[in-house]
């Protein structure tokens, strides 16, 4: 009897096994590979097939703003990028691909900053990295020694506030700085305390809700360049700090406009989100490694921290915040820290034009935390969301050479600078500022500023 033939009285299972054994092993390997790829495609949330079927025509940008706001309407009517679509780089069609590509490769343009150290009153040091038009175009800087020329410099200044554990060397900061400097802006990246290669010089640590450094820095730059219009861009935690500052100070800020990119908005919701799924936990780990490295680097000065074993064993941002940030920031519990530091509580009081950009597939700063309703009520806020983009990435073009949000911010600030509605606001601000600072004009800077503002008021064509 032929051994390949199945015995008539064998059980159905034996027959099945014998039949399956007849299929070549390579078919099984192909099937396994296919299943693995399908799993990876889903796990990494890749949407290449969808993009291919829609012929890469991109995703619409959803704009959320107060429909009765004249300011938003007039600004948006000139912002073609925000009213257009965002087309993802075809080989980066997935939030994790975008995010990992940004942090590993980045494709950042060559940028050489000029560093100035800014000392705060509590003894802290903040490294300010400047990039100007001549740095980008001529590859060297024209150093202006004439302080009178600086006082009269009208070139707009953009202040960049980076995210958690990132600094001016991050790819997105370089993309933004290079792009804006090339378009004639003076860019200054404000590294958080202890980052950007400078030591901590006081035991005050930055955290997601600490706005004092930003406030002092903005006043300092406004004092140095009283005639330059000031703008600010915050990324991730930097966006949270910026929006919180804007809400806390309301109309009392010299900023003309601002942008918040991929803000976490609500730290409590984001904390719950990154602890939920295995993919998010990987990001959580990566961020924790960065935070631990930062704390250990400055261990000698952070004498208030006692539980170093807890810090080194931290496996999540939450653990780290429990052992370090909470104690340095003097919060009772981690959740209290998250609740009090969330910028979402301050959205309603923002009084300068603010562009917020978030991707709905952001793997870190979840869409669940986006304050849609609060943005819709405030007449100064435009919230732009795209279905795709990842965390701070938004790569576009076949060579992934540019970031969509950088172009959107560039255009928005450009429109803002020339808007007649803004000129009107600036006039009111100058009047207000002169009045409010009159009480404290004993300091040299205020006196100088006051003179500058009165001079500017006088020059304005009423
Ligand atoms: C809102 O802004 C004003 C200034 O315009 C400020 O005095 C006030 O403290 C702010 N309110 C809150 C709740 O931060
Ligand atoms: C738009 O702003 C006005 C004035 O602040 C407010 O009364 C109105 O409710 C807002 N509109 C929406 C849709 O929230």
pLDDT digits (tens, 9 = 90+) for 351-410: 999 999 999 999 999 999 999 999 999 999 999 999 999 999 999 999 999 999 999 999
For the chain, list the domains and their CATH numbers: 59-266+342-418 (3.40.50.1820), 279-337 (no CATH)
CA-349 nearest atom, ligand 1: 1
Average pLDDT of the residues of the chain? 89
What pLDDT is recorded for position 239? 97
Cα(3)–Cα(21) distance, integer angstroms? 13
* Tokens 């930097």 belong to residue: 238
Name the residue of 63, 64, 68 whose CB sits within 8 Å of the most ligand 2 atoms, as the mutation to test its pocket: 68
User: Do the beta carbons of residue 206 and residue 238 sit within 8 Å?
Assistant: no
Pocket of ligand 1 (CB under 6 A): 247-248, 250-252, 349, 351
What pLDDT is recorded for position 6? 52
Structure pTM? Answer: 0.90
Closest Cα to atom 7 of ligand 2: 377
Cα(215)–Cα(274) distance, integer angstroms? 30
User: Do the beta carbons of residue 233 and residue 214 sit within 8 Å?
Assistant: no
The rounded Å distance from CA 379 to ligand 2 centre is: 7
Model confidence at 425, pLDDT cuts 50, 70, 90, reads confident
Cα(408)–Cα(9) distance, integer angstroms? 74
Cα(244)–Cα(266) distance, integer angstroms? 11
User: Do the beta carbons of residue 242 and residue 346 sit within 8 Å?
Assistant: no
What pLDDT is recorded for position 448? 60
Q: What are phi and psi of 303, to 5 degrees?
A: -70, -15
Count of other CB atoms within 10 angstroms of residue 30: 11
Ligand closest to 64 (CA) is 2
User: Do the beta carbons of residue 64 and residue 354 sit within 8 Å?
Assistant: no
* Tokens 């603010």 belong to residue: 354
Closest Cα to atom 9 of ligand 1: 248
The rounded Å distance from CA 377 to ligand 2 centre is: 5
* pLDDT at residue 338 is higher than 90: yes
Q: Which residues are CB-neighbours of 266 under 8 A, at least 6 positions away?
A: 342, 344, 369, 371
Q: Which residues are CB-neighbours of 66 under 8 A, at least 6 positions away?
A: 72, 376, 377, 378, 379, 381
The rounded Å distance from CA 348 to ligand 2 centre is: 11
pLDDT digits (tens, 9 = 90+) for 240-275: 999 999 999 998 899 999 999 999 999 999 999 999
What pLDDT is recorded for position 441? 46
User: Do the beta carbons of residue 345 and residue 378 sit within 8 Å?
Assistant: no
What pLDDT is recorded for position 153? 82
221-234 exposure pattern, b = at least 16 Cβ within 10 A, e = fewer: bbbbbbbbbbbbbb
197: left (phi over 0), alpha (psi -120 to 50) or beta: left
User: Do the beta carbons of residue 283 and residue 318 sit within 8 Å?
Assistant: no
What's the DSSP call for residue 55?
A: T
* Ligand 2 neighbour 374 (Cβ under 6 A): no
The rounded Å distance from CA 390 to ligand 2 centre is: 31
Residue 12 vs residues 20, 21, 24, 140, 181: alpha-carbon distances, Å: 12, 14, 21, 81, 75
Q: Which of 48, 41, 50 is nearest to 89 (CA)?
A: 48
pLDDT digits (tens, 9 = 90+) for 153-205: 889 999 999 998 899 999 999 999 999 999 999 999 999 998 988 888 888 88
Longest Cα–Cα distance of the chain, Å, equals 111
Closest Cα to atom 12 of ligand 2: 377
Closest Cα to atom 1 of ligand 1: 250
Residue 270, classed as helix, strand or coil, is: helix
Lowest mean pLDDT among 82-91, 141-150, 355-364, 384-393: 141-150
Whole-number CA gyration radius for the chain = 26
* pLDDT at residue 1 is higher than 50: no
The rounded Å distance from CA 454 to ligand 1 centre is: 25
Model confidence at 462, pLDDT cuts 50, 70, 90, reads very low
Name the residue of 66, 70, 71, 381 whose CB sits within 8 Å of the most ligand 2 atoms, as the mutation to test its pocket: 66
CA-376 nearest atom, ligand 2: 14
Query: Which ranges constitute the DSSP H helices of 54-186?
Result: 70-76, 80-83, 95-104, 133-137, 147-152, 171-182
Residue 424, classed as helix, strand or coil, is: helix
Closest Cα to atom 6 of ligand 2: 377
Model confidence at 302, pLDDT cuts 50, 70, 90, reads confident
Closest Cα to atom 5 of ligand 1: 250
User: Do the beta carbons of residue 403 and residue 394 sit within 8 Å?
Assistant: yes
Tokens of residue 450, six digits: 């006051």
* Ligand 2 neighbour 376 (Cβ under 6 A): yes
Cα(254)–Cα(209) distance, integer angstroms? 20
Q: Which of 207, 97, 225 is nearest to 152 (CA)?
A: 225
Reduced 3-state DSSP string for 189-211: EECCCCCCCCCCCCCCCCCCCCC
Model confidence at 442, pLDDT cuts 50, 70, 90, reads very low
Q: Which of 76, 89, 96, 63 is nearest to 357 (CA)?
A: 63
Break the chain down into helix, strand, coil percent, rounded to 5.
50, 15, 35
User: Do the beta carbons of residue 406 and residue 378 sit within 8 Å?
Assistant: no
* Ligand 2 neighbour 379 (Cβ under 6 A): yes
Q: Which of 250, 261, 225, 252 is nearest to 410 (CA)?
A: 261
């Amino acid at each position: 009897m032929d051994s390949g033939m199945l015995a008539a009285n064998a059980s159905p299972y034996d027959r099945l096994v014998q039949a399956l054994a007849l299929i070549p092993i390579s078919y099984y390997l192909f099937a396994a590979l296919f299943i693995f790829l399908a799993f990876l495609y889903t796990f990494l949330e890749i949407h290449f097939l969808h993009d291919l079927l829609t012929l890469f025509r991109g995703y619409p940008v959803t704009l959320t703003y107060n429909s009765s706001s004249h300011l938003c309407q007039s600004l948006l009517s000139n912002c073609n990028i925000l009213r257009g679509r965002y087309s993802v780089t075809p080989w980066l069609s997935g939030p994790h691909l975008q995010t990992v590509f940004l942090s590993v490769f980045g494709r950042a343009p060559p940028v050489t900053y000029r560093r100035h150290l800014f000392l705060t009153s509590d003894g802290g040091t903040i490294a300010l990295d400047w990039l100007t038009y001549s740095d980008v175009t001529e590859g060297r800087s024209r150093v202006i020694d004439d302080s009178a020329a600086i006082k009269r410099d009208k070139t707009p200044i953009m202040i960049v506030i980076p995210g958690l554990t990132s600094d001016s060397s991050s790819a997105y900061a370089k993309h933004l700085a290079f792009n804006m400097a090339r378009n004639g802006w003076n860019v200054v990246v404000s590294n958080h305390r202890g980052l950007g290669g400078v030591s901590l010089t006081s035991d005050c640590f930055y955290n997601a809700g600490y706005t004092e450094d930003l406030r002092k820095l903005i006043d300092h730059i406004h004092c140095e360049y009283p005639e330059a219009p000031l703008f600010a861009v915050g990324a991730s935690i930097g966006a949270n700090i910026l929006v919180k500052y804007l809400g806390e100070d309301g109309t009392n800020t010299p900023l003309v406009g601002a942008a918040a990119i991929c803000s976490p908005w609500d730290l409590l919701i984001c904390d719950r989100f990154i602890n939920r799924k295995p993919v998010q936990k990987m990001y959580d780990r990566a961020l924790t490694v960065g935070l631990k490295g930062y704390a250990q680097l400055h261990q000698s000065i952070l004498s208030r921290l006692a539980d170093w074993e807890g810090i080194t064993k931290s496996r999540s941002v939450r653990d780290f915040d429990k052992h370090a940030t909470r104690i340095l920031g003097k919060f009772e519990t981690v959740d209290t820290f998250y609740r009090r530091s969330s910028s979402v509580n301050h959205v309603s009081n923002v009084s300068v034009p603010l562009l917020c950009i978030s991707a709905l597939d952001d793997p870190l700063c979840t869409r669940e935390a986006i304050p849609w309703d609060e943005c819709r009520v405030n007449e100064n806020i435009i919230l732009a969301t795209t279905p795709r983009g990842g965390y701070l990435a938004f790569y576009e073009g076949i060579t992934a050479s540019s970031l969509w949000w950088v172009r959107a911010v560039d255009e928005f600030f450009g429109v803002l600078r020339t808007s007649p509605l803004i000129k009107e606001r600036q006039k009111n601000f100058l009047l207000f500022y002169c009045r409010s600072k009159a009480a404290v004009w004993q300091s040299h800077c205020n006196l100088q500023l006051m003179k500058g503002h009165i001079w500017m008021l006088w020059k304005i064509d009423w």
